[in-house]
Structure 1
């Protein structure tokens, strides 16, 4: 049984809920991949809340939330690609997270559909996402949504004190 989620643009009042979802999902997704002490350090709700307040205020990236009843259960941040040599028509999923209690319940695909529509409205024809190579759940999600790995893009990203191997995934927006 799939639940129908409403998706709407995030408001400044949503920043705390977004930060809480971001932290809870990251803790769950990276448990066993990143050492616990480093995981706790990078999961500060306060730091994430400040980041998402600024993102919402300046629409960089555009942020939308998935709502189940009156509760925010996921969010997506998307905009033009941040990759230096990408075309103007390339969009990027900057972040897409659902609260762990709503994993595998359609939140992610609902958010992906909303981001795809938003990117098409912006004139984008392709979309990318950077995903840690050891985050199997995120890789599976993106691949189920039609993204393909670009293994030649694999790189090490610094997230606070942690180094994480990432790969870019890409897909056309139409189709």
Structure 2
């Protein structure tokens, strides 16, 4: 696989939104009611990612294979109120289901880590649903550790989803 990771451009917003929707529907199947998964809007996500790319909040990188976007990562400073200014956060990291377990996530994580280090971050966090075993396993393999005292509940599609923050040093 010849994979290239590069900064996202405004032209990438639609492809990122489509991939985000497709991946989220695959990841959250069985965790969130199907009725809610079907209502996930590419248009809303496209507007979100277009704005993120335009204003670099979060910074967005895409993984490209044969001119097709097969993954993306959004990262920036931590959004947690009590975090230090040197703490970064992975806001989102997704690979196309067709590219799971093929190194796309690792390539995106490497790019995000480098970007966060360039910004002066010394630690990085990510919020992950506890029942998203694939994401938990990915982050733990990348050196993140669970901070169980941070568990919180988010309501998605009328379902309570328990999330936990994972953290690791960037040194």
**TM range, normalised to the smaller chain?**
over 0.9
Q: After TM superposition, where is structure 1 displaced by more than 4 Å over at least 4 residues in a row?
A: none
In the alignment, structure 1 segments of 5+ residues that lack a partner are none
Structure 1 counterpart of 2:69: 72
* Cα distance change, pair 146–4 in 1 and its aligned pair in 2 (3 A): farther
Structure 2 counterpart of 1:22: 20
Partner-residue secondary structure (3-state), 2:121: coil
What TM-score does the superposition give when structure 1 sets the normalisation length? Answer: 0.95
- Greater shift, 31-40 or 117-126, is seen at 31-40
* Cα distance change, pair 104–133 in 1 and its aligned pair in 2 (3 A): same
Structure 1 counterpart of 2:109: 112
Structure 1 residue 5: deviation in Å?
1.3
Counting matched residue pairs gives 171
What TM-score does the superposition give when structure 2 sets the normalisation length? Answer: 0.97
Partner-residue secondary structure (3-state), 2:150: strand
In the alignment, structure 2 segments of 5+ residues that lack a partner are none
Structure 1 counterpart of 2:38: 40
Partner-residue secondary structure (3-state), 2:135: helix
The whole-number CA distance in structure 2 between the counterparts of 1:9 and 1:125 is: 21
Alignment RMSD (CA, Å): 0.9
Q: For 1:56-111, what per-residue CA distance to the aligned partner results, in whole angstroms no more than 9, with x for missing partners?
A: 01100000000002111000000000000000000000000001000000000000
